[in-house]
A and B are shown apart, each in its own frame.
Chain A
Amino acid sequence: MSLDAILQQFRLMLNQINLLWEKAQLYYLEIPSEALAMQIIIMAIFIILALTIILSTGVMILRIKNNLRASRLKKLESTWEKILITIVMSDEDDKPPAIKVSRHNQLFFVRYLHRFAERLQGHELKLVKALAQPYLARFAKGLKGGYPELRARNVNILGTFGFPQYIEAIKSALKDPSPIVTMSAARALARPEYPQHCKVILPVLSMFDQWSMNFLSSMLTEMGSGAAPDLRKTLSSSEESNRVRIACTEALRSIGDLESGNVAAELLGNGIDSELQAALLRLLGQVGIPRHRAIIIDHLKSPHFIVRIHALHALGQIGNQDDGAIITQALDDKSTWVALHAARTLNQLQRRDLLEAALQSEHSRAAIIRQVLAEK
């Protein structure tokens, strides 16, 4: 058919549509408004009815599809499980026999291996890692584009199976606009055998504003004592946000970095944010030495009750029985919380005699003291 003939057909079709439109206009102009309203309602009813039928059918199809998919995957998983158990139970070397997986099921297979790998370690994990190797390139490719959640999952899979080949790919995910991807990348990179990754993780830490401190500090802790110099450096930097500094403090506390005690004591004298003060006092409680008692006792006078609580805790950890008198004063603190922690600190320092004496003198915080004395 020539181009002219096609154009001719097209023009004819347009004319037909135009005629139909004009007819419809004439029809609707002629009928009274009430009847028009009725027609619109009826049309709406039929449209909704049609949509409802389509939706219901869609839901049923979805159910059938989901059931079929679930049963297919269950069958596949059970086949793979048998093979995997045979492989990990055998005395194979680091190169297990390849499992034949169709291209369609490859991603699912690696995700299955990922779940399976969580229960393994050492040589067994190495074997499972080897099984995943041929398919990891697809996950690395999946770090760009798609949904953030999928990119995050891909990062996690590469984190489990792709070390060290895919370290650079994971590092590139630190620049992802989605915090969930960046966090996954940071967590994947943070591991004891790679403390040097602390240098690339710390600069992105400020991105995780919404994340809980536990998330951040536990991630930094993963890198162990090798990361401590970088953590101390960031903690000392007044240019860093308080959140980042607190995360570093918490990580140093978990690591038990003794050198950070002096850093903390020095910073506490610098008039810093109360939350950071509390974190530093927690750190001192863990790694402090008797020389730091003076700065801790100073903070018992802080206007912030949270700082007073942590100063009490720290004193309970590195103080001695002679501190009992100072701590007993805190039982009269205007904050019930501080009083409770003072009582617990006395208990911790094995100064129950002071608690019992306070109880006998009908102390205003008698209920708290009784509670602490009853605690095991």
Chain B
Amino acid sequence: MTVLIRIIQIILESFNYLVLFYFLALNFFYLTTTIFAFFALRTYARRMKAVDLNALIAKAGVPPVTLLAPAYNEEATCIESTKALLALNYPEYEVIIINDGSKDSTLEVLIEAFDMEPAQRSALSKLKSAKVRGVYRSKYQPNLWLLDKENGGKADALNGGVNFCSTPLFCAMDADTLLERDALIRIVRPFLEDASTLAAGGIIRIVNDCTIRSGSVEEIRLPRNLLAKYQVLEYLRAFLSGRMGWSALKSTLIISGAFGVFKRSAVVDVGGYATDTVGEDMELVVKLHRHFLENKIPYNISFVPDPVAWTECPESIKILGRQRDRWQRGLFEVLTRHRVMFMNPRYGRIGLVAFPYFYLLEMLGPAIELPGYFVFLISVIWGTVSTSYIIAFFMAAFMFGVALSIFSVALEEMTFRRYPRFTDLLKLFMLAIIENFGYRQLTIYWRIHGFISALRKVEGWGKMERKGFVTSPKGGK
């Protein structure tokens, strides 16, 4: 019995050390990316001051781009989003909305709203995709196309869109995403400056409770819903500190499926989007890294912090849980599929730094963090660890988390200042504190749930509900 107790004690102690190591490693990475993000954003903001975007368009010209927007049951938001796409400040672009076998009236709504008629258009590449039932083109917006295809999921829809794309670049996005007018001009800059650029991602911001007029965000405000407010802070942290930092380290592994521009030929070369994963956006980026590194072809994949895509975030625990579960499953599927890259010097900093971070800390992390709370509790009850030590440890973790969140708010203030009210700033500070009590634990629970779902090979996206955008009474839809 004594031996058994001793063994349990050793296990508990070891686990406590593992949690400590996890905490230190995770925060080391967070701190490193935040510091890199700070310098990168500072340089970027200065650089942007010196560049006149309209002069850029007028003098230099830009490559034509096709916007691919897969829509599945998006009847609530598709008109507003499409209007926003048609109002972009870009000299030469096409919009292809891909109706991925919606069960609601997305197709009918779009055909009616934009006066679309059947049109001829042939596929120019042969990526695997479900059957295309018809192609439509707007009578009064010749650059607006609608691809009606059988349901095959988002990746399948994007592959279908890429097949019909005839421009060197395409922009993958969600149909419910609102792009800012200058978003395309800003996001193609890496392609203009570096011919080896394969992909560039933009920033995603939360549109809940913001006012929309004629397809663009007229008034920016923090959402009223607390869950949505948490997500605002979370997105600021993820994009301004996380992705900007990883991009500065030249190790961008994720470009959000909601807004990213890709070189069409490179995507076709690697076989397009994988249809058997829910993390198709990350899978494509990892696949591009892998292909170009294996073939020793110089390339660049970057994150651009100011082209904004506005998206509606879930406001209910149930839907948010499904989303996070899916994200974690996607991460698991992508990282296990490309595990050959893990700690493999052949893949340079991607294999030696970015991949281990995502593999050990983002994918396996929740499986350490959540049990860690319980093991700490048991250790305290058992008396193997002093209560004051545990309290101090949690205090340190809490304070560090708050500091990093506030740093993200500082990065936002230093650069883009999208939230104009002073009270918004104070609210973001408050959120940085209170998110540690409940919300953070909830996200860890969802992530561990997603991890288990991935192990159980659960498939599918889970149902998402949209309430639609808040439109300004002045401008109508």
Contact = CB atoms under 8 A, between A and B. Distances in A.
Interface in B188-205: 191-196
Interface in A38-55: 38, 41-42, 44-45, 48-49, 51-52, 55
A21 interface: no
Contacts of B49: 149, 153
A192 to B, nearest CB: 14
B395 interface: yes
Given A150-B50, A218-B59, A340-B124, A55 B386 contact: no
Among B61, B122, B395, residue most surrounded by chain A Cβ atoms (within 10 Å): B122
Contact of A214 (B62, B407, B425): B62
A55 B413 contact: no
A37 B59 CA distance: 62
A66 B417 contact: yes
Nearest to B135: A371
Interface in B407-453: 407, 409-410, 413-414, 417, 422, 425, 429
B388 A214 contact: no
A40 to B, nearest CB: 9
A120 interface: no
A212 B406 contact: no
A46 B395 CA distance: 10
A55 B120 contact: no
A210 B194 contact: yes
A149 B70 CA distance: 38
B400 interface: yes
Interface string B395-410: 1100110110011011
B429 A56 contact: yes
B402 A149 contact: no
B389 interface: yes
Contact of B406 (A45, A59, A118): A59
A370 interface: yes
A211 interface: yes
B192 A212 contact: yes
A368 interface: yes
B399 A48 contact: yes
A374 B142 CA distance: 13
A63 B400 CA distance: 23
A156 to B, nearest CB: 8
B399 A215 contact: no
Interface in B298-338: none
B399 A49 contact: yes
Interface in B91-143: 119-125
B172 to A, nearest CB: 21
A166 interface: no
Given A149-B47, A153-B50, A336 B195 contact: no
B410 A212 contact: no
A214 B50 contact: no
Contacts of B389: 34, 37-38, 41
B392 A149 contact: no
Contact of A211 (B55, B193, B422): B193
A62 interface: yes
A368 B50 CA distance: 45
Interface string B50-62: 1110010001111
A359 B399 CA distance: 72
Interface string B366-400: 00000000000000000000101100110110011
Given A44-B396, A49-B399, A59-B409, A340 B50 contact: no
Given A153-B49, A218-B60, A370-B120, A212 B195 contact: yes
A147 B51 CA distance: 13
B119 A58 contact: no
A219 to B, nearest CB: 8
B152 interface: no
A34 B410 contact: no
A101 interface: no
B124 A212 contact: no
Contacts of B60: 212, 214-215, 218
A56 B399 CA distance: 13
A45 B399 contact: yes
A62 B122 contact: no
A187 interface: yes
Contacts of A150: 46, 50
A212 B407 contact: no
A20 interface: no
Contacts of A219: 59
Interface residues of A, number: 46
B271 interface: no
A182 B413 CA distance: 31
B110 to A, nearest CB: 20
Nearest to A214: B61
B90 to A, nearest CB: 14
B399 A371 contact: no
A63 B426 CA distance: 11
B46 A55 contact: no
Contacts of A149: 46-47, 49-51
A339 to B, nearest CB: 9
A214 B50 CA distance: 20
A121 to B, nearest CB: 14
A112 interface: no
Given A52-B406, A367-B122, A371-B120, A60 B47 contact: no
A92 interface: no
Contacts of A209: 195
Nearest to A216: B60
A155 to B, nearest CB: 10
Given A44-B396, A51-B403, A55-B403, A147 B120 contact: no
Contacts of B123: 336
Nearest to A67: B422
A80 interface: no
Interface in A91-122: 118
A37 B62 CA distance: 58
Contacts of B407: 55
A180 B194 CA distance: 12
A48 B425 contact: no
Interface of B: 43, 46-47, 49-52, 55, 59-63, 119-125, 191-196, 386, 388-389, 392-393, 395-396, 399-400, 402-403, 406-407, 409-410, 413-414, 417, 422, 425, 429
23 contacts: A45-B392, A45-B399, A48-B399, A51-B403, A52-B399, A52-B406, A55-B403, A55-B410, A56-B429, A58-B410, A59-B413, A62-B413, A66-B413, A66-B417, A150-B46, A153-B49, A156-B52, A210-B193, A210-B194, A211-B193, A212-B191, A214-B63, A218-B61
Closest 9 CB pairs of A and B: A214-B61, A371-B120, A149-B50, A153-B50, A48-B399, A374-B120, A149-B47, A41-B392, A210-B194
Interface of A: 34, 37-38, 41-42, 44-45, 48-49, 51-52, 55-56, 58-60, 62-63, 66, 118, 147, 149-150, 152-153, 156, 180, 187, 209-212, 214-215, 218-219, 336-337, 340, 367-368, 370-374
Given A149-B47, A212-B195, A367-B120, 15 more contacts: A37-B389, A52-B406, A55-B403, A60-B422, A60-B425, A118-B55, A153-B49, A156-B50, A212-B62, A215-B60, A336-B124, A368-B122, A371-B122, A373-B120, A374-B119
